[in-house]
């Protein structure tokens, strides 16, 4: 079985190598394929120009109503939402301060982050000039740790929300918000992938977070878009930091390089509308079924266990975990990943971050039918070694 005719031509014409994406929604490989509803909205955007300040406001209102939060803003990815939020917290609506960032002289500029929650994206919190201050230990983070860390320069506390795999030793969002409110500091939540069940989208803001950031790449919008959800006050301040705040108001904030198109803004709106109204049972059933197609040819191979991942929460439901006993299978998980990548067409996957003897295969980035190619190729690679 091979890929469709014309597959990846646009890349090979340039000398770049198209691949089959079995990792999922990752920026590395392109993040997302906008669905037809989104592409149609983007095409319709081209019929006219529109003042982007107004479009952002109306798009934000529309999304906020759909999601059930007081206010929303479409950003250049969740990463930009994180940066603009920190800028908004530090400068508020003071134009002098907006133009001064990333120089934070005279402003509260410290963002607290749990030691256990330091992660890949925390750099986005520093970009506008904020300083990260850790609290808690590697083992456990308590309310006391947060209390102790709050000082005269603290402007906000950050929280990384992962409902499908909660960290029992991290400080909970509830406790974080409780302590933050008591000390009058802002709460910023990265909930980039917390998009299902649907009530997760508004949950942190309803609990009291000031701004929550979501990645639209997970909702099949262009991967260059994201959302900030939050209080009216916080989102108003965030808007002033944005690329269009810079142009419309002639006040030069740090958000100028984080530009998005009008096509992308209406595309992101269409993606949220689809997400909030679609049949999620059908969506999940299809992903589960396609996961089974991957897992099927992997049954009964020596040293190999292929299981459907039992999760429907967040951005990446189901998928297949393939655990490889290197001794019995005659190869390691990393070798399987390397052989998949070296094959034709190249299939990209990764060794599981939480276990070095397993790989994860996910449906998100697979075109219809590619699940069969992936399952069969992994099976071939493992069987070839098992025979030797």
Ligand X SMILES: *Cc1c(COP(=O)(O)O)cnc(C)c1O
* Shortest distance in whole angstroms from residue 380 CB to ligand X: 32
Site for ligand X in 318-347 (CB under 6 A): none
CB under 8 Å to 313, separation ≥6 — which residues?
A: 163, 164, 196, 197, 200
Count of residues engaged in binding ligand X, rule: CB under 6 A: 11
- Does position 192 interact with ligand X (CB under 6 A)? The reply is yes
Name the token pair of 49: 């120009």
* Shortest distance in whole angstroms from residue 95 CB to ligand X: 27
27 or 380, CB closer to ligand X?
Answer: 27
- Does position 193 interact with ligand X (CB under 6 A)? The reply is yes
Q: What DSSP character marks residue 255?
A: B
* Shortest distance in whole angstroms from residue 193 CB to ligand X: 5
Kindly report the backbone phi and psi dihedral angles of residue 306, in degrees, each rounded to the nearest multiple of 5, phi listed first.
-110, 120
Q: Which long-range contacts (CB under 8 A, 24 or more apart) does 100-107 make?
A: 101/128, 101/129, 101/253, 101/254, 102/127, 102/128, 102/129, 102/254, 103/129, 104/129, 104/130, 104/131, 107/155
- Which residue do the tokens 């939050």 mark? 230
- Does position 111 interact with ligand X (CB under 6 A)? The reply is no
Selected range binding ligand X among 10-18, 56-64, 185-193, 282-290, rule: CB under 6 A: 185-193
CA angle in degrees (0–180, nearest 5) for 125-190-148: 65
Selected range binding ligand X among 40-48, 75-83, 126-134, 327-335, rule: CB under 6 A: 75-83
| Cα first-last separation, the chain | 25
Using CB under 6 A, pick the residue from 217, 262, 321, 362 that binds ligand X: 217
Q: What is the rounded CA–CA span in Å between residue 283 and residue 349? A: 22
- Does position 77 interact with ligand X (CB under 6 A)? The reply is yes
Selected range binding ligand X among 15-23, 187-195, 234-242, 304-312, rule: CB under 6 A: 187-195
3-state secondary structure of 113: strand
Using CB under 6 A, pick the residue from 90, 127, 215, 270 that binds ligand X: 215
Site for ligand X in 118-157 (CB under 6 A): 121
196 or 304, CB closer to ligand X?
Answer: 196
In the complex, the residues that contact ligand X under the rule CB under 6 A are 27, 77-79, 121, 190, 192-193, 215, 217, 226
């Amino acid at each position: 079985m091979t890929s469709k005719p014309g597959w990846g031509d646009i890349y090979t014409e340039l000398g770049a190598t198209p691949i089959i994406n079995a990792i999922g929604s990752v920026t590395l490989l392109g993040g997302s394929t906008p669905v037809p509803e989104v592409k149609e909205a983007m095409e319709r955007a081209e019929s006219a120009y529109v003042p982007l300040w107004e479009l952002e406001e109306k798009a934000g209102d529309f999304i906020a109503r759909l999601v059930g939060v007081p206010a929303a803003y479409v950003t250049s990815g969740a990463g930009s939402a994180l940066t603009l939020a920190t800028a908004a917290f530090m400068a508020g609506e003071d134009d002098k301060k907006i133009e001064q960032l990333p120089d934070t002289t005279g402003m509260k500029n410290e963002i607290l982050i749990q030691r256990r929650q330091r992660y890949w994206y925390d750099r986005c919190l520093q970009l506008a000039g904020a300083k990260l201050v850790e609290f808690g230990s590697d083992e456990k983070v308590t309310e006391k740790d947060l209390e102790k860390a709050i000082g005269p320069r603290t402007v906000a506390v950050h929280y990384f929300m992962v409902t499908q795999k909660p960290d029992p030793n991290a400080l909970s969002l509830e406790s974080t918000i409780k302590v933050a409110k008591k000390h009058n500091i802002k709460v910023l939540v990265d909930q980039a992938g917390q998009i299902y069940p649907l009530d997760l989208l508004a949950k942190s803001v309803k609990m009291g977070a000031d701004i929550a950031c979501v990645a639209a790449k997970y909702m099949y919008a262009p991967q260059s878009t994201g959302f900030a959800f939050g209080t009216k006050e916080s989102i108003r301040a965030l808007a002033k930091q944005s690329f269009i705040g810079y142009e419309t108001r002639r006040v030069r904030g740090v958000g100028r390089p984080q530009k998005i198109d009008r096509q992308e803004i209406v595309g992101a709106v269409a993606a949220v509308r689809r997400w909030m109204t679609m049949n999620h049972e059908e969506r999940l059933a299809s992903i589960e079924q396609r996961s089974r197609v991957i897992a099927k040819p992997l049954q009964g191979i020596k040293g190999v266990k292929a299981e459907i991942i039992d999760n429907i929460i967040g951005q990446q439901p189901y998928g297949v975990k393939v655990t490889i006993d290197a001794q019995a299978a005659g190869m390691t998980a990393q070798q399987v990943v390397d052989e998949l990548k070296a094959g034709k067409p190249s299939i990209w996957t990764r060794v599981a971050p939480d276990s070095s003897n397993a790989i994860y295969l996910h449906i998100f980035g697979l075109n219809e039918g590619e699940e069969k190619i992936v399952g069969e190729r992994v099976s071939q690679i493992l069987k070839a070694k098992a025979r030797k």
